[in-house]
Amino acid sequence: MEQKTTARILDGTALARRLREEARAQAADLPGPPPGLRVILVTGDPASEAYVSSKTKATREAGLRAETIRLPSDAAPQALLDEIDRANQSAEIDGILVQLPLPPGLDPRRIFDALDPSKDVDGLHPENVGLLHQGRPRFVPCTPAGIVALLEANEIPIAGKRAVILGRSEIVGKPLAALLTARDATVTLCHSKTRDLPTLCRQAEILVAAIGRPGFVTEDFVAEGATVIDVGINRIASLEEAPAHLRNSEAVRRSIEEKGKALVGDVDFARVSQVAGALTPVPGGIGPLTVAMLLRNTVIAARLGRGLPARD
């Protein structure tokens, strides 16, 4: 039997619901048609299909327009660039999102460079990256924006705190480091070459796991009372696929038996919850906030496209 959770659970679902309602109200106040989002998906990844489905559903429920362009998994780079150019030129499209990860053979940075920076609602164009690091963001990347919103909504102090981020990706680790630094945290950004990772992580008062390895962060990584943010969403279809320390998890076993899969984060929830002061669940933590921030950014893009300031 798994131990009872002692950490405070940070509910991303409830906050995301409020943020979606705010986006709905802001969109309704805009002149002209509802803001339009175009998602471009190079198919082949079931997880990406699921993410895109949830994003477009939430967008429409908030009163925005949403459409998805699907390209085959073996699409040539030029085919994707042509779709981006069409979206850039379309007066009906306010926001463009290219679903990541891309298949091998497609250079993400070449794709980021092709986006109209005023429609780049994931904040990946170099111009938007530069603005973020200068402390004057146009679009804040959705997942890091959701993390900061969750910390602030739960009144978890950032200024003066030691933050450790596991993962230096363009869409989570690097932009989150910029956001936390701008809020006066002292930030360490870790990666595959970082030495003595557990010792370094135990120094964190805010620990963020975004590396895509199921249950990687155990209680050995976590200081007593730390806030732990789990960005990972990993699908496990059988106990044999699970890391050894997760194979005895009652929750994982039950989910596989009942649903044919288990969704787990990068954090070993059962064990870390005995040490952490606050912890995000998977699912129901950062995932819903990523979608909510996409809606916010699409509204911002619509405001810019209509000659209005990005924010009131």
Domain spans of the chain?
31-117, 141-287
Q: Is 173 exposed, middle or buried (0-12, 13-18, 19+ CB in 10 A)?
A: buried
pLDDT of amino acid 1: 38
Q: Which of 94, 116, 120, 122 is catalytic?
A: 122
> Which CATH number among 3.40.50.2000, 3.40.50.2300, 2.40.160.10, 3.40.50.10860 corresponds to the domain 31-117?
3.40.50.10860
Q: Which of the residues 55, 119, 161, 174 is marked catalytic? A: 55
DSSP for the chain reads: -PPPP-SEE--HHHHHHHHHHHHHHHHHTSSSSPPEEEEEEES--HHHHHHHHHHHHHHHHTT-EEEEEEE-TT--HHHHHHHHHHHHH-TT--EEEE-SSPPTT--HHHHHHHS-TTTBTT--SHHHHHHHHTT--SS--HHHHHHHHHHHHTT---TT-EEEEE---TTTHHHHHHHHHHTT-EEEEE-TT-SSHHHHHTT-SEEEE-S--TT-B-GGG--TT-EEEE---EEE-SGGGS-GGGTT-HHHHHHHHHHS-EEE-SB-HHHHTTT-SEE--SSSSHHHHHHHHHHHHHHHHHHHHTT--S--
Annotation says 99 is catalytic? yes
- Verify whether residue 312 is a known catalytic residue: no
31-117 matches 141-287 in fold = yes
Is 134 annotated as catalytic? no
Given a cut of 70, the residues of the chain with pLDDT beneath it are: 1-5
pLDDT at 310: 84
Residue-wise pLDDT tens digits, 105-130 = 899 999 999 999 999 999 999 999 99
Indicate the class that CATH gives domain 141-287. alpha beta
The single residue of 26, 94, 99, 230 carrying the catalytic annotation is 99
